[in-house]
Chains A and B, each alone.
Chain A
Amino acid sequence: AQSVTQLGSHVSVSEGALVLLRCNYSSSVPPYLFWYVQYPNQGLQLLLKYTTGATLVKGINGFEAEFKKSETSFHLTKPSAHMSDAAEYFCAVGTGTASKLTFGTGTRLQVTL
């Protein structure tokens, strides 16, 4: 069985500040880890994913995440928030070959002036 915990359903940062969205996972086998973003009235868009290899993964729009096996974490960061980053962010874990994903409950990011 696999599960995902996203700490903080709402995060608010000032424009230009560091963005840190937390994700911890539980998996009995080596996981595949994903971050998706959802803008209002839209579907989910892939930001980045970890499968194998380098543990620091860079994604679109300046986001990156680091896979830390010892901490079972995959936190999402961005050095400088922009107003356009305001959205809901979902962490997901997948295992096996059937691409079955388990999602967290999401974190809504608010960016203020």
Chain B
Amino acid sequence: ETGVTQTPRHLVMGMTNKKSLKCEQHLGHNAMYWYKQSAKKPLELMFVYSLEERVENNSVPSRFSPECPNSSHLFLHLHTLQPEDSALYLCASSQLAGSGGETQYFGPGTRLLVL
């Protein structure tokens, strides 16, 4: 596998379910990101991990819980979601070198539908 992979690609869950999204990057990068992509809205940055430490949390509801056990893996744990949380969830990674302007590489996304 190369690049950034995400599983599952599609997920349907009820509002009382608990599920997790998984992201794995095979690029040797030191930073990982979760984005939410909703129709007709800009991509929303949810979480940023740099060197496995969370460095950004853009006022995301607590029903979304990220986990970064190592530099290659990133999870998004979901519980008691709402229908408006239905969206495409994208994972990305980059190699932060301190100079800025680093490219983010994206996975194919998980299409989530909350019923």
Contacts and interface: CB of A to CB of B under 8 A. Distances in A.
Interface string A87-113: 000100011111111111110000000
A49 interface: yes
Given A43-B90, A43-B107, A45-B106, A97 B96 contact: yes
B108 A101 contact: no
B109 A99 contact: no
A99 to B, nearest CB: 5
B100 interface: yes
A44 B92 CA distance: 9
Contacts of A96: 100
Given A99-B94, A100-B56, A105 B108 contact: no
Given A98-B50, A98-B56, A41 B98 contact: no
A18 interface: no
Contacts, number: 66
B48 A90 contact: no
Contact of B55 (A98, A102, A104): A98
Interface residues of B, number: 28
A95 to B, nearest CB: 7
Given A49-B101, A105-B42, A43 B4 contact: yes
B9 to A, nearest CB: 8
B98 to A, nearest CB: 5
A43 B108 contact: yes
B101 A94 contact: yes
Nearest to B6: A43
Interface string A37-52: 0000111111001011
Given A46-B103, A102-B42, 20 more contacts: A9-B40, A32-B100, A42-B108, A43-B6, A43-B90, A43-B92, A44-B90, A46-B104, A46-B105, A49-B103, A51-B101, A94-B101, A95-B100, A97-B96, A98-B55, A99-B104, A100-B45, A100-B48, A100-B56, A104-B42
5 contacts: A49-B101, A49-B103, A98-B31, A99-B101, A101-B43
